[in-house]
Structure 1
Amino acid sequence: MKFTELNLPEAVLKGVAEVGFTELTPVQEETIPIALSGKDVAAQAQTGTGKTAAFLVSLFTRLLTSGKRTSNNPRALIMAPTRELVVQIVEDAKGLGAHCPIKVQAIFGGMDYDKQRQALKDGVDIIVATPGRLIDYAKQRVFTFDRIEALVIDEADRMFDMGFIKDLRYILRKLPDFEHRQTMLFSATLSPRVRELAYEFMDLAERVEILPEQVTAERVEQLLYHASRREKFPLLMGLLKKELDAERVLVFVNTKREAEYLTERLKANDLKAAVISGDIPQNKRMRILADFKEGKLTFLVATDVASRGIHIDAVSHVINYDLPQDPEDYVHRIGRTARAGALGKAISFADEDLVFHLPDIEEYIGRKIPSRFPEEDDFFWDYKRGAPRKKAPPAHAKPAAAAAKAKKPRRRGKPRSDGKPSA
């Protein structure tokens, strides 16, 4: 089905055409007609299948047809689990809604508090937010939820994983009753907890489930190399010399320390790389992601926790430098490429420690990952070594400052004139 076959306002169709969308993806074809009819939707769809466009097109159409904003309070709310996903949704909204007189505002922590507060006071149509700061503004009565016509909960399963359920329930209870609003829920898995949320706060939602053979991961060319820990970096360098089309590469590791070390090694070999970790300030994280999107960086090294919400088009390769220990993380990782029907490559390294997680991954995805042992010409050993790896201090070791303080002799007061020691 093509977007032109849907009964969409002209302003929405212009935005859809300008971002290059013509045919609907499976999740869009299933959910948009239901949403346009005014019914609630609970959809199971993997990341990268076009669900952001599905709910944005539906939201814009609803708000345009229901009339103009009559107060400064928002008319629609989109909830997401991470700041990066909020930013990505707002960027997509700018493209798809370029010709719509609809104001979209991002609300999340780590950015200018007063600026976001003032934007809400001035009036917005759609809020895209993580729960924490949104609740803060609501408690201050900067805005109210009274005029919300439509609610979208994106990546609901991730919200449960990240402990947002209490905040989410608080917000849902502040909204108009489900009979007086439309609710759309999108989740990679419709687990019992997600279904419970749907049944409690939605009005007889239409359930949509995109079968595994329809998800983007099926369009990812997967390959696994059996290599020792010592061989992984020279193998990576060798493969990069062969894969000349590796323009935008996401590299996944299992720990923050490994991510930082690997990034430094890539930089030492004159490769444009950066690391995304949870303790990096939000402004810097956004700059790094912007540089990656614009092609100023070729490699982005991340852990699973830090990568939540990284939705970037045209990622040519995903490299599992460390094989994940959780099978679901494997699917999540390779879903970063081959987005919205494009093709992509996913290369994994299974070393002597992490190879034991391979059977669980293959059982979860329902098939064997094509694998091979690297040939000698797959390696590139003449790479620059860079700084040596820092050894992690033993768990029982005291910090240097604490150790020095412990060794320092306790200072005694000067003797008093009567010869007795001072207090």
Structure 2
Amino acid sequence: MSEKHLTDTRFDSFDLAPGIQQGIAEAGFTYCTPIQAESLPIALTGQDLAGQAQTGTGKTAAFLVATLQHLTVHPADESRRANQPRALMVAPTRELAVQIHNDAVTLTKHTNFTSAVVFGGTGYEEQRRQLQEGVDILIGTPGRLIDYLKQGVYDLRAIQVIVLDEADRMFDLGFIKDIRFMLRRCPKPGKRLGMLFSATLSYRVKELAYEHMNNPQNVEVEPEQVTAENVREVCYMTANEEKIPLLIGLLRNLENARTIVFINTKRTADKVWGFLQGNGIETAVLSGDVPQKKRLSLLKKFQNGEVSVLVATDVAARGLHISDVSHVVNFDLPEDAEDYVHRIGRTARAGASGDAISFACETHAFSLPDIETYVGHRIPLESVDQALLAEIDPKSRIYPEKGSRNQRHQKDGRKSHGKGHHHRGHKRPDGSGKPHHRRRSKPPEGGGTQ
């Protein structure tokens, strides 16, 4: 975290248990970020809070530290059973839930607290067994959490702390009924500590907070500008057929870069991945129907630098904290201006700098005015210099693994019109089987274990 984005408040200035302080020190935290400095004094007194802050500002550490201290100061009831967790942390996506759990493991290293993460798409019996054996801190996505809850694998009657992360995203993804279902099965708001965090404290988010929390105190931390201040933005006005050559040309000129390329649809993501792979650029693709184990493996390879380019649909735009992303490329401009902010927010995190490159093509250029209005400034425009365009052999594209739908269509030229094609298999972003409705303005991501 850049010193410019830290406060003068030190973590060791709080009266925290020694084991928690040791975990904080080993995690490399000394000074608080603004959201940590403002929210911790509130939560550590047992007061509920609703916090607004951009991603990458340290809110995960804030609610984890507050949770650990609360559980330390308020011992569990002697009648608590093993399958009754003491803290519940709910996240909208599997990747965010895994990230929270990883941070929890670090911060609880020198305590006796146990934690577990549950999410759809994999590990059903293993996660179930872990809950039955008992954990203190339960982290998960709504679908899998409710699945186990309804089966009686665990119950929420001993909950002392509840955290809702990315609350605005919960609404976007249709999880609010599930959230309310769980909250009604926890102890009354006055008997637990509640923390809610959101990129925006909209009316509906505040309504949720006041309905299910005990007079929460608002904490709002946001920069003067909507986009991260250290992001260098540029937009190329390009023809559709120039996009692939331009992307490959740009990537070839980047040194020691870690790049996320955002695409609007899964089909285009597969196409872009195929051209990058076929032209010697090692690439991972993260979209709707990538199996969970493979998703986690791809993210790990990208995080470790084994793969330098990640092609992703908006499934990866929020909730992920991948350090040291140097470049974000909007191969397709998003139709929703807010998605532009979330996408380019993958770079220039924690005070670092980064580059956001966008392609305003014939298909998606209409989104540019709305994006500029939303971010409050003009995005510098550049024309495409022919020297930037790589020479691409149309036959250099490779196709997904044998048996994939896209590959079969390319070979026989047929389109899929199977019954229920647009409705079957669309799972929620947390991996649960219950379908949800998407906004009509956005094309479906395909198969859908987001």
| Alignment TM-score > 0.5, same fold | yes
Give the alignment partner of residue 342 of structure 2, picking from 329, 332, 344.
Answer: 332
Change (3 A) 1:163 1:220: same
Bigger shift: 216-225 or 119-128? Answer: 216-225
Q: Which runs of 5+ in 1 are unaligned?
A: 400-423
- Give yes or no for the alignment of 1:300 onto 2:310: yes
2:202 maps to 1:194: no
Shift of residue 214 of structure 1?
Answer: 7.3
Contact 1:223/1:370 (<8 A) preserved = yes
Q: 1:202 to 1:398 in 2, by over 3 A?
A: closer
Matches within 5 A, 1:89-104: 89-104=100-115
Query: Are 1:253 and 1:322, in contact at CA under 8 Å, matched by a contact in 2?
Result: yes
| Structure 1 residue aligned with 2:272 | 262
On the 8 A contact 1:26/1:214 being kept in 2, the answer is: no
The reply to whether residue 62 of structure 1 matches residue 70 of structure 2 is: yes
Q: How far has the Cα of 1:354 moved from its partner?
A: 1.3
Identify the residue that residue 434 of structure 2 maps to in structure 1: none
Q: Can you list the C-alpha shifts for 1:323-369, whole angstroms capped at 9, x where unaligned?
A: 11110100110111122222222111111221111110011011111
Give 1:382 shift: 5.5
Amino acid across the alignment from 2:20: V
Secondary structure of 2:20's aligned partner: helix
Max Rg structure: 1
Amino acid at match of 2:270: E
Select which of 359, 363, 367 maps to 1:353: 363
Q: Which runs of 5+ in 2 are unaligned?
A: 1-8, 400-408, 419-450
* Secondary structure at 1:176 match in 2: coil
* Cα deviations by residue, 1:298-337 (Å, 9 ceiling, x for unpaired): 1111111354433211211111111111101001101111
Equivalent of 1:172 in 183, 188, 192: 183
8 Å contact kept, 1:234–1:381 = yes
Look up the match of 1:362: 372
Name the CA shift for 1:66/1:238 in 2 (closer, same or farther; >3 Å).
Answer: same
Q: Given that residues 234 and 358 in structure 2 are in contact (C-alpha distance below 8 angstroms), is that contact kept between their aligned partners in structure 1? A: yes
- Judge which range, 219-228 or 324-333, deviates more: 219-228
Work out whether residues 278 and 306 of structure 1, in 8 Å CA contact, stay in contact via their aligned partners in 2: no
Give the CA deviation at 1:379. 2.5
- The residue identity in structure 1 corresponding to 2:23 is G
For each residue in 1:158-191, what CA deviation from the matched residue of structure 2 results, as whole angstroms up to 9, or x when unmatched? 1111111111110010000000001100011112
Match of 1:342 in 2: 352
Distance in 2 of aligned mates of 1:319 and 1:168: 34
Q: Does 1:228 align with 2:236?
A: no
Structure 1 vs Structure 2 CA RMSD: 2.2
- Distance in 2 (CA, whole Å) between partners of 1:304 and 1:206 is 31
SS at match of 1:275: strand
Deviations 1:252-300, CA, capped at 9 Å, x for gaps:
0111000001011111112111111111211111111111111111111
| Cα distance in 2 for residues equivalent to 1:383 and 1:92 | 45
- Structure 1 residue 385: deviation in Å? 4.7
How far apart, in 1, do the equivalents of 2:338 and 2:251 lie? 26
3-state SS, counterpart of residue 119 of structure 1: helix
Q: Is the 8 A contact 2:27 2:106 kept in 1?
A: yes
Please give the residue correspondences for 1:235-274 in structure 2 after superposition, counting only pairs within 5 Å: 235-246=246-257, 248-274=258-284
Aligned residues: 397
Check the 8 A contact 2:116/2:138 in 1, yes or no. Answer: yes
Instruction: Check conservation: 1:276, 1:307, Cα contact below 8 A.
Output: no
| 1:23 equivalent in structure 2 | 31
2:68 counterpart letter in structure 1: F
